[in-house]
Amino acid sequence: MVTIHEVAARAGVSAATVSRFLRGRRVRASAAIQTAVDELGYSPSAAAQSLKSGRTYTIGVVVPDITNPYFAAVVKGMESVTRTEPYRILLANSDESGEREDDVIADMVRRVDGIVLAPATEQDRTPLNVRDAGVPLVFVDRDLADGEDFDAILVDNAGGARQAAEHLMGLGHTRIAAISGPVDTTPGRRRREGFLETLAAAGIGIAPEHDLIGDFREQSGYQLTLSLLSLPEPPTAVFTANNLMTLGALKALHDMRVGVPDEISLIGFDDLDTGPLLRPPLTVIDRPMVEQGVLAMRLLLRRLDPRHVDDMPRRVVLGTKLVDRASTAPPRTSPAGTAAPSPAGRTRAR
């Protein structure tokens, strides 16, 4: 087995310098040490490191839905950071259940040095217990109603929903529906508020039967879209508040043979790898998913550094952008029954 002394000799530094580098400290020869580690295939003994430092060198990551491509991208971003650190990730799925989340974290908190959490609900009991146990905690994507005491990497949910509403109104839609996520979560509540408030500011009311609450899962997007299509006067445009509900909506529209965007325009929150390949390609509100994971892990590792353990909590809010493809278009007729404005001249992102 390769030893730390062999790495040090290859890099031309002391074993103590290599040890500091592997603990995440800044050293002048970091590039040379990383090259030596890679070339020799060195893997530090987790047991030895734990005995020396009192740390497990494990980061717990708890997400509400491991099947959601968004959370897969976030975890990918986290892993890209830990790849060059002595830490490894312990991943758990709360299945959108606050009770399950409590159980997972109660077990995890004894085995990790820190936790990155996307809360299933906004209850603060478990996060406060984690903090009281002396384990650093960083929120990603979701937050508590009053979570200012914790580090968090968030996204401008209300701003993204506002972009979606403005896009649909700009195309001439006035009969618009929204399929929101659970309002006891940060993204569910803030996206719904941002969307409805933008419509109201423009003098466009949304009918109660068009204001639907889902659960961020594909099946709810499917069933709620079917309910919209069964109305005597279905909407001409639908906003779905996450990628899985968007997929469910697309399936419902396909099964009912409703043309997109000829009969109903569809815009979703969060892009999909297959978004540009769908027919029609999907218009979405996109956000830097991998970057959220990168920033969350960097923030947690910083919090684990004794020099920064008492720093004030940091809250980072990332922006969103509209990716205008082909699943949205002007309604076939205006409210007065006249021809809809031509889509000519619209700029589409490819």
Q: Domains (ranges, CATH) in the chain?
A: 1-44 (1.10.260.40), 54-155+290-318 (3.40.50.2300), 157-287 (3.40.50.2300)
Asked whether residue 338 carries a pLDDT value surpassing 90, the answer given is no
Asked whether residue 130 carries a pLDDT value surpassing 80, the answer given is yes
Alpha helices (H) along the chain: 4-11, 15-22, 30-40, 46-53, 69-82, 98-108, 125-132, 157-170, 186-201, 218-229, 243-255, 289-304
Q: At what angle do helices 218-229 and 243-255 cross, to 10 degrees?
A: 40
Point out the least confidently predicted range of 92-96, 169-173, 225-229, 310-314: 310-314
Q: Looking at the DSSP assignment, which residues form a beta bridge with residue 138? A: 116, 151
What single-letter DSSP state applies at residue 282?
P
More reliable by pLDDT, 185 or 309? 185
Helix (H, G, I), strand (E, B) or coil at 262: coil
pTM higher than 0.85 for the full model? no
Structure tokens at 29: 């020869």
Q: If you average pLDDT over residues 281-307, what whole number do you get?
A: 95
What radius of gyration do the chain's Cα atoms show? Answer: 24
Q: How confident is the model at residue 133 (pLDDT cuts 50, 70, 90)?
A: confident
CA distance 174 to 291: 35
What single-letter DSSP state applies at residue 171?
T
Asked whether residue 77 carries a pLDDT value surpassing 80, the answer given is yes
Q: Is the dihedral of CA 157, 158, 160, 165 positive or negative?
A: positive
pLDDT at 333: 64
pLDDT at 44: 66
Q: Looking at the DSSP assignment, which residues form a beta bridge with residue 152? A: 139, 315
Nearest to 68 by CA among 96, 45, 43, 41: 96
Asked whether residue 273 carries a pLDDT value surpassing 90, the answer given is no
Share of the chain above pLDDT 70, in %: 89
Asked whether residue 94 carries a pLDDT value surpassing 50, the answer given is yes
For 194-208, what is each residue's pLDDT tens digit?
999 999 999 999 999
pLDDT at 346: 38
Mean of the per-residue pLDDT values for the chain?
A: 88
CA distance 54 to 218: 43
Q: Which residues fall within 8 angstroms of residue 281, CB to CB, at 6 or more apart? A: 275, 325, 326, 327
Asked whether residue 341 carries a pLDDT value surpassing 60, the answer given is no
Asked whether residue 3 carries a pLDDT value surpassing 90, the answer given is no
- Provide the phi-psi class of 61: left if phi over 0, else alpha when psi is between -120 and 50, else beta: beta
More reliable by pLDDT, 296 or 276? 296
At residue 148, φ and ψ (nearest 5 deg) are -65, -15
CA distance 174 to 235: 8
Point out the least confidently predicted range of 84-98, 163-177, 220-234: 84-98
**How many CB atoms sit inside 10 A of residue 103's CB?**
13
Nearest to 252 by CA among 228, 277, 272, 217: 228
CA distance 92 to 104: 7
Q: If you average pLDDT over residues 170-178, what whole number do you get?
A: 97
For 26-35, what is each residue's pLDDT tens digit?
788 899 999 9
Give burial (CB, 10 Å; 0-12/13-18/19+) of 58: middle
CA distance 281 to 120: 31
